Each structure stands twice: as structure tokens, then as C-alpha cells.
């Protein structure tokens, strides 16, 4: 008989494994996102509107809940290097290559006040709830994969990366 045949008369043999311990699934909330960031030792801020954000490797990230029931968790990072709008086609090609080769984060580019805004987003619908471990993994994966994408951009545009780092160093020496 076949491996997946309904007519296979052979019963499964061996002991039945013990059930896994119950894991608590709870609704997504602002407080849980903050607690997950705290649990991982991440440095972040909460602005006047209650939005949670932070800076990783000089890139800005936001952790927002969206959707009718605030059930979607979206982690959005922005590449902080400055590129002129005339680089749009070349950056779009790089973004599209990333999106073809990678499952996440979703990446995109748009023109904002004459310069390019390049973003990475990872969104998941948690309407059924999630565990603390799932929430922490979402945050860690979203930030680390976005940073990998931003690193790819830095490789493609080393002068923009160097200019940004020089601006950061200059601002730190002034303060």
C-alpha cells in the first residue's frame, strides 16, 4: 500500500509522544511590542503619538500596528543615505532584484522631495494572536533582514554610505 493511502491497514506503531506543553497565545498590543523590545535589550523611543521607533546602524525603524483591529504588526525601516532622484531607475532595479530573491522584507523606493526614500517592511497579520517568542522573532527578523538589505544598498552606493557616516561623525564631534 502507498504511504498516504487511506486503505493502508497497517496501524502506526510505537508509543504516542507526550503532548507539547501549552504555549500562551495572546492578542497583539502596544504593550506587548514594547515588552518584546525590552526583552531583547533593544533601545527605542516612543513619540508623542505613541509610535514606537528606534535606530539600528543609523537607520530609522518604526514598529506599528495597523488594520481594523490593529492586528497587523509592521516593522518599517528607512535607509538613511541620501541619493538624488535621478538614481531612481538603478535603485528600483536593485530593489526588484531583492524582492525576487528574498521572501522578506518587502522593499521599495520612492521619490521624496527630490531625493530617494528606500524602505524595507515586514508585516504579519496576528489576528489569531501570537506567542511572546513569535513576537520577538518577528522583531529580530524584520530588523536584521532590513539591515541586510540596507547593507546591500551601501555596497552598491559606497559614496552615499561614506557621506552619511561622515555627517554622523561630524554631528557627534559637535555635540
Query: Residue-wise pLDDT tens for the chain (175 aa)?
Result: 454 555 555 555 556 566 666 788 999 999 999 999 999 999 999 999 999 999 999 999 999 999 999 999 999 999 999 999 999 999 999 999 999 999 999 999 999 999 999 999 999 999 999 999 999 999 999 999 999 999 999 999 999 999 999 998 898 888 6
Whole-model pTM?
A: 0.85
How many domains is the chain partitioned into structurally?
A: 1
Q: How far apart are CA 53 and CA 138, in angstroms?
A: 15
Helix (H) or strand (E) holding 117: strand 115-125
Residue with cell 494572536: 129
Residue 20: inside a domain, yes or no?
no
Provide the CATH number for the domain around residue 40.
Answer: 3.30.1460.10
Residue 10: inside a domain, yes or no?
no
What helix, strand, coil percent values describe the chain, rounded to 5? 40, 25, 35
Residue 84: inside a domain, yes or no?
yes
Residue 19: inside a domain, yes or no?
no
Residue 5: inside a domain, yes or no?
no
Distances from the Cα of 164 to the Cαs of 26, 56, 86, 157, 175, in angstroms?
A: 41, 14, 19, 11, 17
Q: Which domain holds residue 38?
A: 30-174
Amino acid at each position: 500500500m502507498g504511504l498516504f493511502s487511506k486503505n493502508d491497514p497497517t496501524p502506526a506503531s510505537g508509543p504516542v509522544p507526550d503532548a507539547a506543553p501549552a504555549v500562551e497565545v495572546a492578542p497583539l498590543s502596544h504593550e506587548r511590542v514594547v515588552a518584546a523590545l525590552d526583552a531583547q535589550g533593544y533601545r527605542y523611543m516612543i513619540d508623542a503619538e505613541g509610535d514606537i521607533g528606534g535606530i539600528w546602524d543609523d537607520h530609522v525603524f518604526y514598529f506599528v500596528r495597523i488594520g481594523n483591529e490593529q492586528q497587523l504588526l509592521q516593522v518599517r525601516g528607512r535607509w538613511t543615505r541620501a541619493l538624488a532622484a535621478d538614481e531612481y531607475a538603478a535603485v528600483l532595479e536593485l530593489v526588484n532584484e531583492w524582492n525576487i530573491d528574498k521572501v522578506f522584507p518587502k522593499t521599495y523606493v520612492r521619490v521624496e522631495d527630490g531625493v530617494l526614500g528606500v524602505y524595507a517592511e515586514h508585516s504579519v497579520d496576528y489576528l489569531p494572536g501570537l506567542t511572546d517568542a513569535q513576537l520577538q522573532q518577528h522583531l529580530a527578523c524584520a530588523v536584521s533582514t532590513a539591515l541586510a538589505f540596507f547593507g546591500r544598498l551601501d555596497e552598491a552606493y559606497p559614496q552615499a554610505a561614506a557621506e552619511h557616516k561622515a555627517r554622523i561623525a561630524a554631528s557627534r564631534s559637535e555635540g
